[in-house]
Amino acid sequence: MERVVLAFAKDETADKIKKMLDGSGFDIYMICHSRAELLRSVSEMDEVLVIMGYKLPDGMADDVYNDLHEGQKLMSLIKAERQCEIYNQDIFVVTLPINRQILINSIETFVGIIERQKHRIKRTPEEKKIIEDAKAYLIEKHMMTEEAAHRFIQKRSMDTGARFIDTARMILGI
């Protein structure tokens, strides 16, 4: 994801964010000042990261997110007290105030999450069954909730450096 589009109602805010990103490896492709302008600008882009505030004159972050296509991602820079007003959990929210390093680290983290999701291997039906059986075993034998069983397998996988499916197999003894 190399294209970054800034969407802020005020020129001063867009310029400040642009200056923070100068020399970071993230080049600003365009600056937009309204939702309509943004959507026209990114309509032909397969992959783009849109960085915006809480709202534009003609739409909120949730509205913008709903209009984006697959491969187009949204990061919202928002005051902490407004954070609860972003309803879509797929919007990457960064609370203000921020400095250059926090902004760059946040973008790198978000882009890394996107890249990992792209390369995530889909589980086969057999693997899904093994994982469900391992969870069922933990639920029955150790009185865990499904969520707790999932977290147990996940934590054990991280602690041992094993894949999730391999940990599930180990729990089942297969």
Do 42 and 8 touch, CB atoms closer than 8 A?
no
Residues counted in the chain: 174
Q: Position 170: which residue type?
A: M
DSSP 121: P
Give the global pTM. Answer: 0.64
The confidence score (pLDDT) of residue 63 equals 93
Work out whether the CA dihedral 113, 118, 121, 123 comes out positive or negative: positive
* CA dist., res. 127 & res. 129, Å (int): 5
Per-residue pLDDT of the chain (174 residues; tens, 9 = 90+): 468 999 999 999 999 999 998 888 887 889 999 999 999 999 988 888 999 998 999 999 999 999 998 888 999 999 989 888 888 888 999 999 999 998 988 888 887 766 665 555 678 899 999 999 999 999 999 999 999 999 999 999 888 888 899 999 999 998
